[in-house]
Amino acid sequence: MQSITIVGCGWLGLSLAQQLQSLGYPVRGSSRNEATLAQLATLGIPGFRLSIDEALESDALDELFDAEVLFANVPPGRTPSALPYAERMKNLAQAAWQKGIRKAIFVSSTAVYSSGEAVDESAPLDPSPRAQQMRDAEQAFSDVFGAGLTVLRPAGLVGGERHPGRFLAGRQGLPGADAPVNLVHRDDVIGAVVRVLEAEAFGEVFNLVAPGHPSRGAFYPRAAIALGLEPPTFSSEPMDVKRVIGDRIAGQLGFHYRYPDPLTMPPLPA
């Protein structure tokens, strides 16, 4: 099995590390958080401190990048940095390449797309600065890894402690009651990564989003009530429709969403 270095062992990366380890993949991970590094050590996964800015700061770059595949899940975040997000991702990609890694999986977002009724991987891109910074980061990785890169663009991420009931709880008069929800469960993102590795599906771009798209007005009140929170209310004001399609990975790689319907995703009640 291919060895994997996971940069960004947070809410998604740590769970991915555990799943890959359970399947027999040689895994190592990085974090800036000492508690996370301690968790990795407890799990028997080699963990390394890594900070990404004008230069990569780590206690052992050679050991961290001693792998065949780089999995990068480093969101832009809100913490000010000396370098733009795309420049930091360029530094990460180049460092991994220099250490001999030739394949990468980069986690982006469906936020790169403009609104539309059927937003697939060929859909128009959103020109906003937020979307552009994600596209610039994707391009930074593509410039380094070329056909060895696969980009995953997940929709809104839920699962575990990230419960959608908190997203809009208590808010009043929200627009877009009839607009579709675009969500994907963490377990399905992890399953997609495993399928990419199994199929050696590099040089690709895949959206990851549950096939079901309940309306905001149906989904978010139910999600809030499931947590015992005040449900949001919606006005009659419309909003742009954005219905993201994540079928390409299913058709091309035979991937199956474990949680195809946001209304029955755990921890929501069935």
Specify the CATH number for the domain of residue 62: 3.40.50.720
Of the pLDDT bands very low, low, confident and very high (cuts 50, 70, 90), residue 108 is: very high
pLDDT of residue 176: 97
pTM passes above 0.85: yes
Of the pLDDT bands very low, low, confident and very high (cuts 50, 70, 90), residue 79 is: low
Of the pLDDT bands very low, low, confident and very high (cuts 50, 70, 90), residue 78 is: low
For the chain, the average pLDDT equals 95
Give mean pLDDT, residues 96-101. 97
Give mean pLDDT, residues 1-9. 96
Of the pLDDT bands very low, low, confident and very high (cuts 50, 70, 90), residue 270 is: very low
Residue 233 has pLDDT above 70, yes or no: yes
Task: Report yes or no on 115 lying in a domain.
Answer: yes
Out of 47-56, 145-154, 223-232, 241-250, which region has the weakest mean confidence (pLDDT)?
47-56
Q: Which residue has the higher pLDDT, 114 or 78?
A: 114
Task: Report yes or no on 33 lying in a domain.
Answer: yes
Number of domains in the chain: 1
Give mean pLDDT, residues 143-152. 98
Out of 126-130, 178-182, 213-217, which region has the weakest mean confidence (pLDDT)?
126-130
Residue 59 has pLDDT above 90, yes or no: no
Task: Report yes or no on 177 lying in a domain.
Answer: no
Residue 248 has pLDDT above 90, yes or no: yes
DSSP notation for the chain: ---EEEE--STTHHHHHHHHHHTT--EEEEES-HHHHHHHHHTT--EEEEEESSSEEES-HHHHT-SSEEEE-----SS--SS-HHHHHHHHHHHHHHTT--EEEEE--GGGBPPEEEE-TTSPBP-SHHHHHHHHHHHHHHHHHGGGEEEEEE-EEEBTTB-GGGTSTT--SBS-TTSBP-EEEHHHHHHHHHHHHHHT--S-EEEE--S---BHHHHHHHHHHHTTPPPP-B-S-----EEE---HHHHHH----S---GGG-TTS--
pLDDT of residue 214: 97
Task: Report yes or no on 219 lying in a domain.
Answer: no
Give mean pLDDT, residues 241-269. 93
Task: Report yes or no on 27 lying in a domain.
Answer: yes
Give mean pLDDT, residues 129-157. 97
Give mean pLDDT, residues 159-180. 95
pLDDT of residue 260: 97
In the chain, % of residues over pLDDT 90: 89
Task: Report yes or no on 124 lying in a domain.
Answer: yes
Task: Report yes or no on 86 lying in a domain.
Answer: yes
* Structural domain that includes position 248: 4-160+183-211+243-259
Residue 75 has pLDDT above 70, yes or no: yes
Give mean pLDDT, residues 225-237. 95
